[in-house]
């Protein structure tokens, strides 16, 4: 906020990826859904920079986070170099990182680092070979990331002995509007529910991709579909149309090719308790629990997941990159998705920007505290203050 990022003091309490308007606070990780809501009193922790004319997925809150931060660096006189493609690290014979080797329009450019190099080049979601070797579940489905997430920073670290962790961890979004999801029943290829539909959609994605072989269908009745479709949303393109419609559960499961009786049993069990507003099986919030009535529809959500990788070089609390020996590599720091960050154990919206900005700042402070040698090369002994 000191750098000019504005958070409007208003709360948006609807299911969704991002508030459609300029509200500054929301639930962003399933804090208000089972199982977390039963063990910890839920508080909304998703902070969204204020923005008008939002177009989520193209220009949303992230833009309004970066704009003031970039303007602040410019006002402080920080020199920026553009159109540079970083290729490798320049390393002294004693193992100290003293610069980078880059290209600009095909020409080599060498940048000398007086105090250190901070890697912040994103994930390896777009490096097919690395994804195949480490996180094959998202092979062919990179999402919420950019093509520059080619794993280069991770390879640069590995090339000088950086240890890595959680290379198989991934964020996995689920591409269907949460306004529909909360109002329906999410079932797998056996017609069975497997997760409460009102939780964070990234958890739905992980549960579907990791444990249900990416097989998912949303079963919803007409009234709930109409209500969900008419709700305020930040992602109208995710308000999907039904794939199958039928007069009852028996016909619907036949249309969907599910085993006879499987979906009927699921709906019968759900409706029995929903009549009292409860969901003892999976703990969906009573606010969203209603029996399914009348004509039914199903939306085909098979393969509707995608995401980015969360593993990379190990770093310490000062964002120093750690060698396989456990010692920090002199002069090398890293932050964000090119490291093994805090979200590797379970991703929620905000933990990526939070991880990158918090440890990016730590990396900058650590690098700035490196002592300079008289000839301008960082001294290993002067590593970050503790
Ligand atoms: C639509 C969308 C919505 C999202 N919503 C959220 C959200 O709500 N909350 C959240 O926490 N996260 C969200 N994310 C994810 C978040 O934006 C990213 O995870 C985060 O920006 C990663 O930060 P980073 O610094 O590691 O990488 P980036 O922000 O991707 O920065 C890496 C930079 O390095 C550059 N680069 C890469 N390789 C090279 C090279 N060789 N030479 C020079 N430059 C290079 C890239 O061009 C890029 O500019 C969202 C992402 C998308 C796309």
Query: pLDDT digits over 316-346, tens only?
Result: 999 999 999 999 999 999 999 999 988 888 8
Ligand 1 site, residue 6, Cβ cutoff 6 A = no
In CATH terms, the superfamily for domain 85-171+310-382 is FAD/NAD(P)-binding domain (3.50.50.60)
Nearest CA to ligand 1 atom 29: 122
Ligand 1 centroid from CA 213, angstroms: 28
Ligand 1 centroid from CA 145, angstroms: 6
Ligand 1 site, residue 155, Cβ cutoff 6 A = no
Is 255's pLDDT higher than 50? Answer: yes
Ligand 1 site, residue 202, Cβ cutoff 6 A = no
Ligand 1 site, residue 282, Cβ cutoff 6 A = no
pLDDT in tens, 108-145: 999 999 999 999 999 999 999 999 999 999 999 999 99
pLDDT band at 10 (very low <50, low <70, confident <90, very high): very high
Distances (CA, A) of 127 to 151, 155, 303: 6, 11, 20
pLDDT at 361: 95
Ligand 1 centroid from CA 366, angstroms: 22
Nearest CA to ligand 1 atom 5: 349
Nearest CA to ligand 1 atom 9: 350
CA atoms of 211 and 199, how far apart (whole Å)? 16
State the closest ligand 1 atom to the C-alpha of 350, by its place in the atom list counted from 1: 11
Nearest CA to ligand 1 atom 53: 144
Q: Which of 111, 144, 147, 351 to mutate to test ligand 1, by most ligand atoms within 8 A of the CB atom?
A: 144
Ligand 1 centroid from CA 66, angstroms: 11
Is 56's pLDDT higher than 80? Answer: no
Is 380's pLDDT higher than 60? Answer: no
Ligand 1 centroid from CA 315, angstroms: 18
pLDDT at 310: 97
Nearest CA to ligand 1 atom 25: 336
pLDDT in tens, 217-250: 999 999 999 999 999 988 888 999 999 999 999 9
CATH code of the region 175-306: 3.90.700.10
Distances (CA, A) of 201 to 159, 162, 181: 36, 33, 9
**DSSP 8-state symbol, 315:** B
Ligand 1 centroid from CA 356, angstroms: 9
Is 102's pLDDT higher than 80? Answer: yes
State the closest ligand 1 atom to the C-alpha of 338, by its place in the atom list counted from 1: 26
Percent of the chain with pLDDT over 70: 96
**Token representation of residue 65:** 């986070």
pLDDT at 379: 35
Ligand 1 site, residue 356, Cβ cutoff 6 A = yes
Contact partners, residue 125, CB within 8 Å, separation at least 6: 131, 138, 142, 143, 145, 149, 307, 308, 309
pLDDT at 383: 30
Pairing of strands 117-119, 328-334: parallel
Contact partners, residue 133, CB within 8 Å, separation at least 6: none
pLDDT band at 386 (very low <50, low <70, confident <90, very high): very low
pLDDT band at 287 (very low <50, low <70, confident <90, very high): very high
pLDDT at 57: 74
DSSP per-residue string spanning 128-168: HHHHHHH-GGGTT-B-SS-TT-SSHHHHHHHHTTB-EE-TT
pLDDT band at 374 (very low <50, low <70, confident <90, very high): very low
Domain-wise residue ranges, the chain:
1-78, 85-171+310-382, 175-306
Ligand 1 site, residue 85, Cβ cutoff 6 A = yes
Ligand 1 site, residue 86, Cβ cutoff 6 A = yes
Is 181's pLDDT higher than 80? Answer: yes
Mean model confidence pLDDT for the chain: 93
Same fold, 85-171+310-382 and 175-306: no
Ligand 1 site, residue 306, Cβ cutoff 6 A = no
């Amino acid at each position: 906020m000191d750098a000019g990022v504005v958070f409007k003091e208003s709360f948006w309490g609807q299911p969704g990826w991002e508030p459609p308007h300029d509200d500054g606070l929301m639930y962003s990780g399933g804090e208000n859904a089972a199982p977390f809501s039963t063990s910890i009193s839920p508080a909304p922790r998703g902070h969204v920079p204020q923005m008008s004319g939002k177009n989520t997925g193209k220009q949303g809150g992230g833009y309004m986070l970066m704009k003031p931060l970039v303007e602040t660096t410019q006002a402080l006189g920080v020199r920026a170099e553009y159109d540079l493609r970083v290729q490798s690290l320049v390393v002294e014979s004693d193992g100290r990182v003293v610069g980078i080797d880059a290209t600009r329009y095909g020409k080599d450019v060498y940048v000398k680092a007086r105090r250190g190099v901070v890697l912040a080049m994103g994930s390896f979601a777009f490096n097919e070979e690395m994804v195949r070797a480490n996180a094959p579940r998202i092979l062919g489905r990179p999402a919420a990331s950019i093509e520059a997430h080619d794993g280069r920073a991770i390879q640069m670290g590995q090339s000088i002995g950086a240890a890595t962790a959680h290379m198989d961890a991934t964020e996995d979004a689920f591409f269907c509007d949460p306004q529909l999801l909360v109002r329906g029943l999410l079932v797998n290829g056996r017609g069975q529910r497997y997760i409460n539909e009102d939780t964070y959609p990234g958890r739905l994605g992980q549960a579907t991709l990791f444990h249900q072989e990416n097989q998912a269908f949303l079963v919803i009745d007409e009234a709930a579909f109409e209500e969900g479709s008419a709700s305020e949303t930040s992602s109208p393109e995710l308000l999907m149309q039904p794939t199958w419609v039928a007069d009852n559960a028996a016909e619907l499961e036949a249309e969907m090719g599910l085993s006879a009786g499987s979906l009927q049993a699921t709906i019968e069990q759900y409706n029995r308790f929903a009549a009292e507003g409860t969901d003892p099986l999976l703990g969906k919030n009573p606010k969203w629990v209603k029996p399914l009535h009348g004509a039914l529809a199903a939306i085909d959500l098979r393969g509707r997941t995608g995401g980015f990788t969360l593993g990379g070089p190990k770093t310490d609390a000062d964002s120093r990159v750690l060698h396989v020996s456990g010692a920090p590599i002199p002069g090398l720091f890293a932050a964000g998705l090119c490291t093994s960050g805090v979200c590797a154990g379970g991703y929620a919206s905000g933990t990526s920007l939070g991880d990158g900005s918090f440890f990016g700042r730590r990396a900058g402070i650590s690098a700035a505290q490196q002592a300079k040698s008289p000839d301008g090369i960082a001294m290993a002994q002067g590593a970050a203050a503790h």
